[in-house]
Amino acid sequence: MEKIIINGGKKLSGSVKVSGSKNAVLPIIIASILAEGESVINDVPDLTDVHILKDILTELGAKVDFKNNIFRIDTKGINTWEASYESINKMRASVLVMGPLLAKFGRARVAMPGGCAIGTRPIDLHLKGFESLGAKISLEQGFVSATSEKGLTAGKIYLDFPSVGATENIMMAAVLAEGTTTIENAAEEPEIVDLANFLNSMGGNVKGAGTNVIKITGVKKLKGAEHTVIPDRIEAGTYLIAGAVTGSCITIENVISHHIKPVIAKLRDCGIEIEENDSSLTIKKIDGIKATDIKTMPYPGFPTDMQSVFSVLMCIAEGTSIVTETVFENRFMHIDELKRMGANVKIEGKSSVIEGVDKLSGCQVKATDLRAGAALILAGLISEGKTEVFDVYHIFRGYENIIEKFQKLGADIVHEKY
């Protein structure tokens, strides 16, 4: 068992470098299944999820090497189109293997993912997309199968909701399909653009990524490619808010500020002065924190992944703020833990109403999911006394070297096994 111990109250200083994006790198590594030959992915964060994916791809028959943030993968040896329950159960994103396997072998069989901590996240939109490409879908004994013996053909797909996973899975399936596929109401997240960049550098023909209409013209085959992953916008936002909440003028390096515009805008609404440089952000001045309302939305709206972390800032803001979650149905689990630390919060349906308090106090808390865990670390940084965060394995799924990075910024934080 592991826990993170934080002695709160220390100001942060200096700079922190953001790692490659977790949400971009997982589909990019999976997309390499489509290539004939070796792909090299740079700036890959050393995260639990990446190691799980490495194991899954090895199980499928790929040769994989991951060191010094460089992921090399040769997918020539992949000889199965089935992803086991164990694989899917370890990491939800592994359901994205379905699109590439279907494109490559004309069939794919993966275990149906169950619900997860933050909501049900069904894959019906993924399956709707595969059907539009001519695949036959069947469900049996907890597995979903997609088959298209004559190969996939282009289709026109309207997504009922701009699902990131569905957009990615359909893009990867369509890249080898015959003809031009159109995805309407597609997700517009930067991670979709990064995946399109990788597919195109492998020889694919994907246009419109980053808008709500994506067109994919199928090609006969793809080659291996080298790619550098975009910086993690959620990690960048987390450290920016860490600076704001602790009243510290710190610099966040390796950032594409365009990707966290809503977070920067909301911090400015709170009265925090932020300077945007070429690839860094610096907090220049914090003169009190004013309460502000936020509402999570698909990109380019305020990211749901930043909701819990931003809520910590609102816990000590002057006034009342309303935080509304519209993307996932069960994403207020951190609130009960924050209340134990002295936060004044009420949950009303899809919103939490936060009345700012002067201070929080450290205690033992539990990370219920990845972003909730990050929120509790930030709460620990500003609490009086000692905070112990348990179930920290969630945090290591998404934040590379988070302990070392906060230590470098001057935080009193350690990771302990017990």
Partner 1 sequence: MSRKFDETVHFKINAEKDNYIKDVLENVYESLTEKGYNPVNQLVGYIISGDPAYITSYNDARNQIKKIDRNELVEELLTKYMEK
Q: How near is the Cβ of 387 to partner 1 at its closest, in Å? A: 36
Q: How near is the Cβ of 194 to partner 1 at its closest, in Å? A: 5
Positions that interact with partner 1 (CB under 8 A): 188, 190, 193-194, 196-197, 200-201, 207-211, 225-226, 228, 230, 256, 258-259, 278-279
Cβ closest to partner 1, residue 226 vs residue 318? 226
Alpha-carbon distance of 387 to 377, in angstroms, equals 8
CA 396 to chain centre: 13
**Distance set, CA 339 to CA 189, 305, 347 (Å):** 32, 20, 11
Enumerate the β-bridge partners of residue 16. Answer: 252
Q: How near is the Cβ of 358 to partner 1 at its closest, in Å? A: 40
Enumerate the β-bridge partners of residue 359. Answer: none
**Helices and strands (DSSP H and E) totals, the chain:** 14, 28
Give me the count of residues in the chain: 418
Cβ closest to partner 1, residue 230 vs residue 274? 230
H/E run at residue 140: strand 136-140
Q: How near is the Cβ of 180 to partner 1 at its closest, in Å? A: 14
Cβ closest to partner 1, residue 262 vs residue 342? 262
Alpha-carbon distance of 252 to 315, in angstroms, equals 23
Alpha-carbon distance of 28 to 22, in angstroms, equals 10
Q: How near is the Cβ of 29 to partner 1 at its closest, in Å? A: 17
Q: How near is the Cβ of 12 to partner 1 at its closest, in Å? A: 26
Cβ closest to partner 1, residue 37 vs residue 210? 210
Cβ closest to partner 1, residue 160 vs residue 226? 226
Cβ closest to partner 1, residue 49 vs residue 189? 189
Alpha-carbon distance of 298 to 260, in angstroms, equals 13
Catalytic residues: 116
Alpha-carbon distance of 224 to 215, in angstroms, equals 22
Q: Residue 305 has what DSSP assignment?
A: G
CA atoms within 13 A on the CB side of 101: 24
Residue type, 341: M
Structure token pair of residue 174: 């369509």
